[in-house]
Homo-oligomer: A and B are copies of this chain.
Amino acid sequence: MPALKYSRQREAIRHFLMTRRDHPTADTVYTCLREEFPNISLGTVYRNLTLLSDLGEIRRISSDSGAEHFDGDLTPHQHFICSRCHRIYDIRIDRIATLLDDAQKTAPGKVESCRLNFYGICEQCATTSKA
């Protein structure tokens, strides 16, 4: 692990994610940051997103359906993903620790974390489709 050197771009990416309640993709981060850094590169965004998530400062959400999403909220929570519009909502479940214990009983290795996504149709899609 090489020493991290400060970079304005990385700080901006981190800050951007912290202030968002949704879960942007790399491309969204890129597009939004171009206002502050008109010639930031998409490669820079990807590199720093990977860096930050390796450091555990942001979370990576594999939402399935194309691109990965990123989450600056590190408090323990899960996601409800709408199967129609693919929006990602935060939800909170207790008992995650118990889940990990349960899994450890039969897992062929040391269980370190879990990822728990729920799927369904969100209220917004449910109401609009009734029309």
A contacts, CB < 8 Å to B: 60, 62, 64, 68, 78, 80, 82-83, 89, 91-95, 99-100, 102-103, 106-126
A103 contacts which of B60, B91, B102, B110 (Cβ < 8 Å)?
Answer: B91
What are 7 contact pairs spanning A and B, CB under 8 A? A62-B64, A80-B108, A80-B111, A99-B116, A100-B118, A103-B118, A114-B119
Residue of A94, A103, A123, A126 ringed by the most chain B CB atoms within 10 A: A103
Give the residues in chain B near A116, CB-CB below 8 Å.
99, 114-116
Whether the pair B91, A106 counts as a contact (CB closer than 8 A) is yes
A102 contacts which of B94, B121, B124 (Cβ < 8 Å)?
Answer: B94
